[in-house]
Protein backbone atom coordinates (compact mmCIF):
# COMPACT_ATOMS: atom_id res chain seq x y z
CA UNK A 1 0.00 0.00 0.00
CA UNK A 2 1.38 3.44 -0.87
CA UNK A 3 1.72 5.91 1.98
CA UNK A 4 0.91 9.55 1.34
CA UNK A 5 2.01 11.99 4.03
CA UNK A 6 2.30 14.97 1.72
CA UNK A 7 2.73 18.14 3.78
CA UNK A 8 2.19 16.36 7.09
CA UNK A 9 4.47 17.42 9.96
CA UNK A 10 6.37 14.65 11.75
CA UNK A 11 8.62 14.85 14.81
CA UNK A 12 10.96 11.96 15.61
CA UNK A 13 12.98 11.97 18.81
CA UNK A 14 16.22 10.01 18.65
CA UNK A 15 15.96 10.33 14.89
CA UNK A 16 19.57 10.46 13.74
CA UNK A 17 20.40 6.76 13.45
CA UNK A 18 18.99 3.25 13.41
CA UNK A 19 15.23 2.90 13.80
CA UNK A 20 14.66 6.63 14.31
CA UNK A 21 16.54 7.51 11.14
CA UNK A 22 14.61 4.93 9.12
CA UNK A 23 11.30 6.26 10.42
CA UNK A 24 12.26 9.87 9.66
CA UNK A 25 13.39 8.98 6.14
CA UNK A 26 10.30 6.86 5.55
CA UNK A 27 7.97 9.73 6.39
CA UNK A 28 10.05 12.16 4.32
CA UNK A 29 9.98 9.83 1.31
CA UNK A 30 6.18 9.82 1.63
CA UNK A 31 6.10 13.64 1.46
CA UNK A 32 6.15 14.65 5.13
CA UNK A 33 8.13 17.53 6.59
CA UNK A 34 10.28 16.09 9.35
CA UNK A 35 12.08 17.25 12.48
CA UNK A 36 14.57 15.06 14.34
CA UNK A 37 16.59 15.42 17.50
CA UNK A 38 19.49 13.54 19.04
CA UNK A 39 22.65 14.25 21.03
CA UNK A 40 25.28 13.45 18.38
CA UNK A 41 25.77 16.45 16.12
CA UNK A 42 27.48 14.64 13.23
CA UNK A 43 24.86 11.90 12.80
CA UNK A 44 22.09 14.46 13.32
CA UNK A 45 23.33 16.67 10.49
CA UNK A 46 23.95 13.72 8.18
CA UNK A 47 20.38 12.50 8.60
CA UNK A 48 18.96 16.02 8.28
CA UNK A 49 20.73 16.31 4.93
CA UNK A 50 19.27 12.97 3.81
CA UNK A 51 15.79 14.18 4.70
CA UNK A 52 16.29 17.50 2.91
CA UNK A 53 17.48 15.69 -0.21
CA UNK A 54 13.98 14.20 -0.49
CA UNK A 55 12.61 17.68 -1.16
CA UNK A 56 10.82 18.31 2.14
CA UNK A 57 11.43 20.59 5.09
CA UNK A 58 14.13 19.07 7.26
CA UNK A 59 14.61 20.41 10.78
CA UNK A 60 17.15 19.03 13.25
CA UNK A 61 18.24 20.14 16.69
CA UNK A 62 20.54 18.70 19.34
CA UNK A 63 18.64 17.67 22.48
CA UNK A 64 19.50 15.77 25.62
CA UNK A 65 16.23 13.92 26.11
CA UNK A 66 17.02 13.30 29.77
CA UNK A 67 16.69 17.08 30.28
CA UNK A 68 13.01 17.94 30.78
CA UNK A 69 13.13 21.62 29.77
CA UNK A 70 15.26 20.73 26.74
CA UNK A 71 12.61 18.27 25.54
CA UNK A 72 9.84 20.85 25.84
CA UNK A 73 11.97 23.46 24.12
CA UNK A 74 12.84 21.11 21.24
CA UNK A 75 9.22 20.14 20.55
CA UNK A 76 8.26 23.82 20.43
CA UNK A 77 11.10 24.58 18.02
CA UNK A 78 10.14 21.63 15.84
CA UNK A 79 6.51 22.74 15.69
CA UNK A 80 7.58 26.25 14.72
CA UNK A 81 9.92 24.97 12.01
CA UNK A 82 7.33 22.62 10.52
CA UNK A 83 4.25 24.77 11.03
CA UNK A 84 2.66 22.31 13.45
CA UNK A 85 2.77 18.62 14.36
CA UNK A 86 0.64 15.82 12.89
CA UNK A 87 2.69 12.86 14.10
CA UNK A 88 4.98 12.46 17.11
CA UNK A 89 7.31 9.46 17.26
CA UNK A 90 9.00 8.85 20.62
CA UNK A 91 11.94 6.66 19.69
CA UNK A 92 14.81 7.49 22.03
CA UNK A 93 16.22 5.16 24.69
CA UNK A 94 18.69 5.68 27.48
CA UNK A 95 19.65 1.99 27.26
CA UNK A 96 19.76 1.66 31.05
CA UNK A 97 20.39 -2.05 31.45
CA UNK A 98 21.58 -3.03 34.91
CA UNK A 99 19.58 -3.24 38.13
CA UNK A 100 21.43 -0.28 39.62
CA UNK A 101 20.91 3.44 40.10
CA UNK A 102 22.54 4.35 36.78
CA UNK A 103 20.50 1.87 34.76
CA UNK A 104 17.20 2.90 36.28
CA UNK A 105 17.98 6.62 36.05
CA UNK A 106 18.82 6.42 32.34
CA UNK A 107 15.75 4.39 31.45
CA UNK A 108 13.29 6.41 33.48
CA UNK A 109 14.65 9.75 32.26
CA UNK A 110 14.81 8.97 28.54
CA UNK A 111 12.55 6.02 27.74
CA UNK A 112 9.72 7.04 30.05
CA UNK A 113 9.86 10.73 30.95
CA UNK A 114 11.06 12.00 27.57
CA UNK A 115 8.09 10.15 26.05
CA UNK A 116 5.72 11.80 28.52
CA UNK A 117 7.26 15.25 28.23
CA UNK A 118 7.40 15.26 24.43
CA UNK A 119 3.79 14.09 24.30
CA UNK A 120 2.64 16.86 26.63
CA UNK A 121 4.57 19.49 24.68
CA UNK A 122 3.16 18.26 21.37
CA UNK A 123 -0.45 17.96 22.57
CA UNK A 124 -1.67 21.46 21.59
CA UNK A 125 -0.25 20.99 18.10
CA UNK A 126 -1.68 17.48 17.74
CA UNK A 127 -5.10 18.75 18.83
CA UNK A 128 -4.97 21.45 16.16
CA UNK A 129 -4.22 18.90 13.43
CA UNK A 130 -6.67 16.50 11.79
CA UNK A 131 -5.98 12.78 12.03
CA UNK A 132 -2.98 13.20 14.34
CA UNK A 133 -1.25 10.36 16.15
CA UNK A 134 1.53 9.43 18.53
CA UNK A 135 3.76 6.39 18.16
CA UNK A 136 6.01 5.12 20.93
CA UNK A 137 8.92 2.80 20.12
CA UNK A 138 9.34 0.33 22.99
CA UNK A 139 10.74 -3.22 22.77
CA UNK A 140 9.62 -6.82 23.07
CA UNK A 141 11.72 -6.76 26.27
CA UNK A 142 8.72 -5.06 27.85
CA UNK A 143 6.64 -8.23 27.49
CA UNK A 144 8.82 -10.53 29.59
CA UNK A 145 11.25 -10.66 32.52
CA UNK A 146 14.93 -10.05 31.87
CA UNK A 147 17.87 -11.03 34.07
CA UNK A 148 20.29 -9.45 31.58
CA UNK A 149 18.63 -6.03 31.40
CA UNK A 150 16.01 -5.70 34.14
CA UNK A 151 15.79 -1.89 34.14
CA UNK A 152 15.49 -1.75 30.35
CA UNK A 153 12.71 -4.36 30.32
CA UNK A 154 10.83 -2.59 33.11
CA UNK A 155 10.82 0.83 31.46
CA UNK A 156 9.74 -0.70 28.16
CA UNK A 157 6.86 -2.36 30.02
CA UNK A 158 5.96 1.07 31.39
CA UNK A 159 5.87 2.41 27.83
CA UNK A 160 3.53 -0.38 26.74
CA UNK A 161 1.20 0.36 29.63
CA UNK A 162 1.29 4.14 29.18
CA UNK A 163 0.34 3.68 25.54
CA UNK A 164 -3.03 2.27 26.61
CA UNK A 165 -3.63 4.97 29.24
CA UNK A 166 -2.65 7.79 26.91
CA UNK A 167 -4.79 6.37 24.11
CA UNK A 168 -7.81 6.31 26.43
CA UNK A 169 -7.14 9.86 27.66
CA UNK A 170 -6.62 11.30 24.20
CA UNK A 171 -9.31 9.46 22.25
CA UNK A 172 -11.90 12.19 22.99
CA UNK A 173 -9.43 14.60 21.38
CA UNK A 174 -9.30 12.34 18.30
CA UNK A 175 -5.57 11.66 18.74
CA UNK A 176 -4.55 8.06 18.24
CA UNK A 177 -1.74 6.58 20.35
CA UNK A 178 -0.01 3.32 19.49
CA UNK A 179 3.26 1.56 20.23
CA UNK A 180 5.73 -0.59 18.30
CA UNK A 181 7.75 -3.20 20.18
CA UNK A 182 10.70 -4.15 17.97
CA UNK A 183 12.64 -7.34 18.41
CA UNK A 184 16.41 -7.42 17.89
CA UNK A 185 17.25 -5.03 15.06
CA UNK A 186 20.66 -4.77 13.42
CA UNK A 187 22.06 -1.72 11.62
CA UNK A 188 25.44 -0.17 10.86
CA UNK A 189 27.10 1.01 14.05
CA UNK A 190 24.37 -0.43 16.25
CA UNK A 191 24.71 -2.71 19.26
CA UNK A 192 23.87 -5.92 17.44
CA UNK A 193 26.32 -5.24 14.61
CA UNK A 194 29.00 -4.57 17.19
CA UNK A 195 28.21 -7.85 18.93
CA UNK A 196 28.30 -9.77 15.65
CA UNK A 197 31.63 -8.29 14.61
CA UNK A 198 33.06 -9.06 18.05
CA UNK A 199 31.86 -12.68 17.81
CA UNK A 200 29.83 -12.19 20.97
CA UNK A 201 28.07 -15.50 21.82
CA UNK A 202 24.93 -13.55 22.71
CA UNK A 203 24.45 -12.63 19.05
CA UNK A 204 24.30 -16.29 18.07
CA UNK A 205 21.88 -17.14 20.87
CA UNK A 206 19.55 -14.33 19.89
CA UNK A 207 19.72 -15.27 16.21
CA UNK A 208 18.97 -18.89 17.01
CA UNK A 209 15.85 -17.82 18.91
CA UNK A 210 14.27 -15.92 16.00
CA UNK A 211 12.01 -18.21 13.92
CA UNK A 212 12.59 -16.17 10.76
CA UNK A 213 16.32 -16.85 11.08
CA UNK A 214 17.61 -13.27 11.03
CA UNK A 215 17.58 -10.02 12.94
CA UNK A 216 15.32 -7.22 11.79
CA UNK A 217 16.11 -4.04 9.89
CA UNK A 218 15.20 -0.46 10.86
CA UNK A 219 13.14 -0.14 7.69
CA UNK A 220 10.88 -2.99 8.81
CA UNK A 221 10.05 -1.02 11.94
CA UNK A 222 9.59 2.18 9.93
CA UNK A 223 7.04 0.54 7.63
CA UNK A 224 4.84 -0.30 10.62
CA UNK A 225 5.21 3.24 11.99
CA UNK A 226 4.01 4.68 8.68
CA UNK A 227 1.05 2.31 8.69
CA UNK A 228 0.07 3.27 12.24
CA UNK A 229 0.21 6.98 11.41
CA UNK A 230 -1.70 6.57 8.15
CA UNK A 231 -5.45 6.61 7.40
CA UNK A 232 -5.20 2.85 6.90
CA UNK A 233 -4.97 2.61 10.71
CA UNK A 234 -7.58 5.27 11.45
CA UNK A 235 -9.52 2.91 13.77
CA UNK A 236 -6.43 1.64 15.60
CA UNK A 237 -5.48 3.13 18.95
CA UNK A 238 -4.08 1.90 22.25
CA UNK A 239 -2.29 -1.00 20.57
CA UNK A 240 1.27 -2.32 20.93
CA UNK A 241 2.52 -4.27 17.95
CA UNK A 242 5.50 -6.61 18.20
CA UNK A 243 7.65 -6.47 15.07
CA UNK A 244 10.15 -9.23 15.72
CA UNK A 245 10.14 -12.03 13.14
CA UNK A 246 8.53 -14.27 15.75
CA UNK A 247 11.23 -13.68 18.38
CA UNK A 248 8.66 -13.64 21.18
CA UNK A 249 7.39 -17.03 20.03
CA UNK A 250 10.70 -18.61 20.93
CA UNK A 251 11.09 -16.81 24.26
Q: How far apart are CA 192 and CA 189, in angstroms?
A: 8
Q: How far apart are CA 55 and CA 110, in angstroms?
A: 31
User: Residue 105 has what DSSP assignment?
Assistant: H
Q: How far apart are CA 242 and CA 129, in angstroms?
A: 28
Q: Which residues of 142-172 are buried (b: 16+ CB within 10 A; e: fewer)?
A: bbeebeebbbbbbbbbbbbebbbebbeebee
143 is catalytic: no
Sort residue 130 into left (φ over 0), alpha (ψ -120 to 50) or beta. beta
Catalytic one of 152, 162, 203, 232 = 152
Dihedral angle sign, alpha carbons of residues 37, 38, 44, 50: negative
CB count within 10 Å of CB 15 equals: 30
Q: Are 131 and 86 in contact (CB under 8 A)?
A: yes
Catalytic residue IDs: 152
Amino acid sequence: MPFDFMNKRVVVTGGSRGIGRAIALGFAAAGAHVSICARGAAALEATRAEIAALGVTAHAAPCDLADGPAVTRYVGEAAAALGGIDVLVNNASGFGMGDDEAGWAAGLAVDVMAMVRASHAALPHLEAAAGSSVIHIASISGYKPSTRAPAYAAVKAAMLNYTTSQAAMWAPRRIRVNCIAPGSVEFAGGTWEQRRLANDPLYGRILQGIPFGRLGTPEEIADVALFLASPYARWVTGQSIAVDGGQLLGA
